[in-house]
Amino acid sequence: MKILFTIILVISATCALAQNTSVFPNVSKAFIARGQHKAAGKDTVIESDTSKENKEPRYFYLSVNTDILVNTKGGAAKRFSPAFEIGRTYGIFDIGLAAGRLNSLSAGSDTTKYLEFRPTINIFSKGRFAEGLCLGAGYVFGAKQGLMTEICNSINFNISANSAIAVVQGYYFFDGTNDSRGNQYMGLSFTYNFLRSHSVNKQRKKAAIVSDN
């Protein structure tokens, strides 16, 4: 009887010990999971910090410019200088190609049609407002003073993420073989940004507009 009782006691103690030892793996798993969670959280922060430089919006745009030459004699046909520009925005930097006319009249065999490369940089921004500086270079087809350069600045207002208007002021310079001249202008421009709805670039553009409000 004593032997039977001893065997039962040993078996009971063994079962109880087996059940208690299962706590240690659970505790170990809890510490491991907690460590992994902390590591994942740290990695997320690092990724967020290192991706700040990639948050600038990039998209194509189309601008319509309506400029008026202000130091030129003549009527509206000789002063009005329409143009359009297509390009791509890389954050605060725009690279565009513009085509237009210096005025609506031709002088002899000279034309007033031109093609121009126009890089622009935003030098200041505050909410929906921004100031831009452009330096352009192009060619007036068939003109005696065919080489064309431009410097301008603009005050831009973002109506929305997809559209903006601007007041522009600048100078054209024309160089030929024997002579050169310059013209000052002022005007308005309207820009449409090709941003798809719910796209990452549109969200980035919205964030840039409201970030300083």
pLDDT tens for 159-213 read: 999 999 999 999 999 998 888 888 899 999 999 999 988 889 888 888 888 765 5
Fill in the DSSP letter of residue 72. -
- Asked if 174 and 147 count as a contact pair (C-beta separation under 8 A), the reply is yes
Whether the pTM exceeds 0.85: the reply is no
pLDDT, tens digit (0-9, with 9 covering 90-100), for 10-24 = 555 555 544 554 444
Is residue 32 predicted with pLDDT exceeding 70? no
Query: Under a CB-based contact definition with an 8 Å cutoff, are residues 137 and 149 in contact?
Result: yes
Dist. CA 151–CA 190, nearest whole Å = 19
Q: How many residues comprise the chain?
A: 213
Tell me the pLDDT tens digit for each residue of 63-80.
999 999 998 777 887 889
User: What is the Cα–Cα distance from 180 to 72, expressed in whole angstroms?
Assistant: 15
